[in-house]
Amino acid sequence: MAVPQVAAPPPATRRVRRSHQGWKFVGPFMIVFALVFLAPIAYSIYLSLYRNRLIGGNAFVGLDNYTQALQDSQFWSGVGRVGLFLVVQVPIMLFLALLVALALDSGRLYGKSFFRVSIFLPYAVPAVVAALMWGFIYGSQFGLVGSINDALGISLPDPLKPSLILASIGNITTWQFVGYNMLIFFSALQVVPKSLYESAAIDGAGQLRIIRSIKLPAIRGALVIATIFSIIGSFQLFNEPAILRNLAPNAITTYFTPNFYAYSLTFSGQQINYSAAVAVIMAVITMIVAYVVQLRGTKDL
């Protein structure tokens, strides 16, 4: 597959001789994985070669669905949108998460556990509440934006208008996932042997230097994997647009993101076959981007 040795963790010092022993441990995971991932994917690929119509029934169409998807401007507009989202939102989110993780790790913070819990908490908020909450905050009629406008006599731009909607979604995603990524970085930092940078500090290295030359390289694996999962997450952007769609139905189209498009095709249009083709193409694009990022990530750091 496209991503060999994705962020392979630092190799353990020595390994047992080659044997089948490993499969005893990996096997159970892979069996369940085959059932809930590989089989549906294989089934989707099979479905993507057919077309079932309301009138006329099911027929084998070869790669027709794929050629159609490759020429589908709605699909590509969605890809472009998540591409833009990826380039802007992911760096901001990961940077904030890294900053907080380093701050928590520095040992120079008052109320460390309070911060750790509170920044992680948004990740735990169920989507149905997130919808009500952000609906209120973004509301320019009855919501917070409206109230601020009234109170200060200004007119803030409507966060739900088409030109701002992507930024508004980015804000929700950042809010929800900074804590998640922070926790990944934080737990990676915890495993870095403290003795390493304590001796560096004794040698007179400043905090920034320690971060740059010891901490960051030490958690490189976590940084790369978090980036890759964030890329996948961006390409699969679905929940946040789905949440805001009830409030901004005209700004968020049914093909707003590729994942949303696949959803609409399946659930509103009964186009399961076409949806499967879109999903397969999207998976290939995602894998390519993730692979490139992984190659660069392991080279640069």
Restricting to residues 169-228, name those near other proteins by CB under 8 A.
175, 178-180, 183-184, 187-188, 190-195, 198, 221-222, 225, 228
In angstroms, what is the minimal distance from the CB of 95 to other proteins?
A: 12
| Packing angle of the helix pair 73-105, 272-300 (nearest 10 deg) | 40
Q: Give me 204's structure tokens.
A: 């007179």
- The CB density around residue 83, as the number of other CB atoms within 10 Å, is 15
Q: Which DSSP symbol is given to 10?
A: P
**The only residue of 95, 250, 295, 301 in contact with other proteins, by rule CB under 8 A:** 250
Q: Which is nearer to other proteins, 88 or 133 (CB)?
A: 133
Q: Which is nearer to other proteins, 94 or 280 (CB)?
A: 280
**The only residue of 63, 84, 127, 292 in contact with other proteins, by rule CB under 8 A:** 127
Q: Give me 234's structure tokens.
A: 């961006």
In angstroms, what is the minimal distance from the CB of 258 to other proteins?
A: 7
Residue 126 binding other proteins, by CB under 8 A? yes
In angstroms, what is the minimal distance from the CB of 200 to other proteins?
A: 13
Q: Give me 284's structure tokens.
A: 């290939």
**The only residue of 84, 121, 156, 295 in contact with other proteins, by rule CB under 8 A:** 121
**The only residue of 88, 120, 205, 220 in contact with other proteins, by rule CB under 8 A:** 120
In angstroms, what is the minimal distance from the CB of 207 to other proteins?
A: 9
Q: Which is nearer to other proteins, 37 or 292 (CB)?
A: 37
Q: 25 to 44, contacts with other proteins by CB under 8 A?
A: 25-44
In angstroms, what is the minimal distance from the CB of 211 to other proteins?
A: 13
Count Cα neighbours of 131 within 13 Å in the Cβ-side half-sphere. 14
Distance CA 114, CA 61 (A): 57
Please count the residues of the chain: 301
| First-to-last C-alpha distance (Å) of the chain | 24
Q: 67 to 96, contacts with other proteins by CB under 8 A?
A: 96
* Alpha-carbon distances of 195 from 44, 58, 108, 125, 192, rounded to whole Å: 51, 66, 17, 38, 9
- What is the phi/psi pair of residue 60, to 5°? -75, 130
In angstroms, what is the minimal distance from the CB of 150 to other proteins?
A: 9
- What is the phi/psi pair of residue 225, to 5°? -70, -40
**Per-residue contact track with other proteins, 132 to 171, x per CB under 8 A?**
xxxxxx-xxxxxx--x----------x--xx---------
Q: Which is nearer to other proteins, 57 or 204 (CB)?
A: 57
Alpha helix locations (H) across the chain? 21-33, 39-47, 64-70, 73-105, 112-120, 127-138, 144-152, 165-191, 194-202, 207-210, 216-218, 220-235, 239-245, 258-267, 272-300
| Size of site (CB under 8 A) for other proteins | 153
